[in-house]
Homo-oligomer: A and B are copies of this chain.
Amino acid sequence: MEKGGITYPEGFSASGLHCGIKSGKGRDLSLIFSEAPCTAAGTFTTNKFRSYSLLWTLRNIGNPVHAVLVNSGNANTCNGAENCRHTSILAEELSASLGIKPGSVLIASTGIIGRPLPYKKILSAIPALKKKLHSKNHAEAAIGIMTTDTFPKEIQAETGIKGRHKEVCIGGMTKGAGMINPCMATMLGFITTDAVIEKMALRSALKEAVEDSFNMITVDNDTSTNDMVVCLANGMAGNRKIRSGTEDYEKFSASLKSACINLAKMIASDGEGAGKLIEVRVKGGWCGKDCRRVAKKIAGSSLVKSTVYGCWPNWGRVLAAAGSASARIDAGSIEVSMCGIKVYNGNPVKYDEAKLRRLMKGKKIVIGVDLKKGKFSATAWGCDLTEEYVKINKE
């Protein structure tokens, strides 16, 4: 295999293997490595309880970063204070093996909360993990971070920004949305780029991108203890340094956002037990926040999700969900469409129900809302709610 995903930008390699955290044979440990030190930015869960892995990463994200170690199968959260020390030991051993500083290693975990991290298994796997590092092993790494995902999620893209010898590139991988999962309650996202970029510019670009992508997918209303999205920029494209407010920044920012949106949609469409992707497009909002709140409320409503599953155009549920959002909304002016067919325009609209039912049998259901209050818009993504979701989550 060629390079791609997180190894698509210049200078990144990756590996993934089974070290024994998961009871089966599935991969459970991944490594991302950059030969040049990276400027790093991250966004992290707002949950009060946070993984020791996440806390380590929070402490070191400001450093020049060389490596990200990710395990699946264990969240390293609420599992006793000694696991804080074990997390440091992992970073120390990995950095010694790679010939870098401990502070240049980031760590992420996803899996069951409350169990001791089997850090010795991880330690024993470090030599193999290092040996396998290669730009062609991006998919292995993407598989190593999976929990109940049904497919690995990778992306690669060009930015249109010229570097010294090549165009600036972006790569990425991600895994299943937090609370779609039973015990494996985490959304992780890793983005790589060979751009030369100012730290503050990278931070603001990532923040904006995450706001319109990973933060706009919803499976239920919980927030995991381990969620994080990290972006590493190693500067190997040799482009003119990207600074906030420049045209290059706009290009980079747009590419990053597009990559994040694509990864986020993969997560939503791969929700546990899900068969359909729900896309809620809200426009005409008095402000962006209003739009985001309405869109997420609709995409996250169990009743809307059930209606989509049943291919039943019950637009009353869409209205009820919208009306329960904390936003400026008028029942007399709001417009709602499902699969492109207008169903409400301040009053119920007569429409071809048989046709809409047929359209709702598709794999992607678009719900459109026009708040008729202003010029802002937002899009959220979710999935349908199925019996399979319950089956998976009770076990």
Tell me the A residues contacting B by CB distance below 8 Å. Answer: 46-50, 75, 77-81, 112-115, 179, 182-183, 185, 220-225, 300-303, 306-307, 309-310, 312, 314-317, 319-325, 327, 329-331, 344, 347-348, 385-387, 389-391, 393-395
Docked complex Cα distance between A390 and B386 (Å): 6
Docked complex Cα distance between A50 and B303 (Å): 18
Docked complex Cα distance between A223 and B222 (Å): 17
Q: A48 to chain B: which residues have CB within 8 Å?
A: 322-325, 327, 329-331
Nearest residue, chain B, Cβ from A80: B347
Contact residues of A: prevailing secondary structure? loop
Q: A301 to chain B: which residues have CB within 8 Å?
A: 179, 220-222
The answer on a CB contact under 8 Å between B222 and A316 is no
Given contacts A48-B323, A386-B390, 11 further A-B pairs with CB under 8 A are A49-B329, A80-B348, A113-B316, A114-B319, A185-B317, A221-B302, A222-B301, A222-B302, A307-B394, A309-B390, A310-B395
The answer on a CB contact under 8 Å between A324 and B47 is yes
Docked complex Cα distance between A179 and B306 (Å): 12
Docked complex Cα distance between A312 and B113 (Å): 14
The answer on a CB contact under 8 Å between B78 and A395 is no
Nearest residue, chain B, Cβ from A306: B393
Q: A390 to chain B: which residues have CB within 8 Å?
A: 306, 309, 385-387, 389-390
Q: Which listed residue (B50, B77, B306, B395) contacts A182, Cβ 8 A?
A: B306
The answer on a CB contact under 8 Å between B348 and A78 is yes
Q: A319 to chain B: which residues have CB within 8 Å?
A: 49, 77-78, 113-114, 225
Assess A316 versus B220: contact at CB under 8 Å? Given A309-B390, A310-B394, A347-B81.
no
Assess A77 versus B316: contact at CB under 8 Å? Given A302-B220, A324-B223.
yes
The answer on a CB contact under 8 Å between B393 and A348 is no
The answer on a CB contact under 8 Å between A114 and B344 is yes
The answer on a CB contact under 8 Å between A225 and B320 is yes
Docked complex Cα distance between A224 and B282 (Å): 21
Docked complex Cα distance between A316 and B112 (Å): 7
Most buried by B among A315, A320, A395: A320
Task: Provide 25 A-B residue pairs closer than 8 Å at the C-beta atoms, listed in order of the A residue.
Answer: A46-B324, A48-B329, A49-B319, A49-B323, A49-B331, A78-B331, A78-B344, A78-B348, A80-B347, A81-B347, A113-B317, A113-B319, A113-B320, A114-B315, A114-B316, A114-B348, A179-B320, A183-B314, A183-B317, A221-B221, A222-B302, A223-B323, A303-B393, A309-B390, A309-B394
The answer on a CB contact under 8 Å between B323 and A225 is yes
Assess A324 versus B113: contact at CB under 8 Å? Given A49-B331, A390-B389, A394-B307.
no
Q: A302 to chain B: which residues have CB within 8 Å?
A: 179, 220-222, 393
The answer on a CB contact under 8 Å between B224 and A78 is no
The distance from the CB of A98 to the nearest CB of chain B, in whole angstroms, is 31
Q: A344 to chain B: which residues have CB within 8 Å?
A: 78, 114
Q: A329 to chain B: which residues have CB within 8 Å?
A: 48-49
Q: A80 to chain B: which residues have CB within 8 Å?
A: 347-348
Docked complex Cα distance between A219 and B47 (Å): 22
Docked complex Cα distance between A300 and B300 (Å): 13
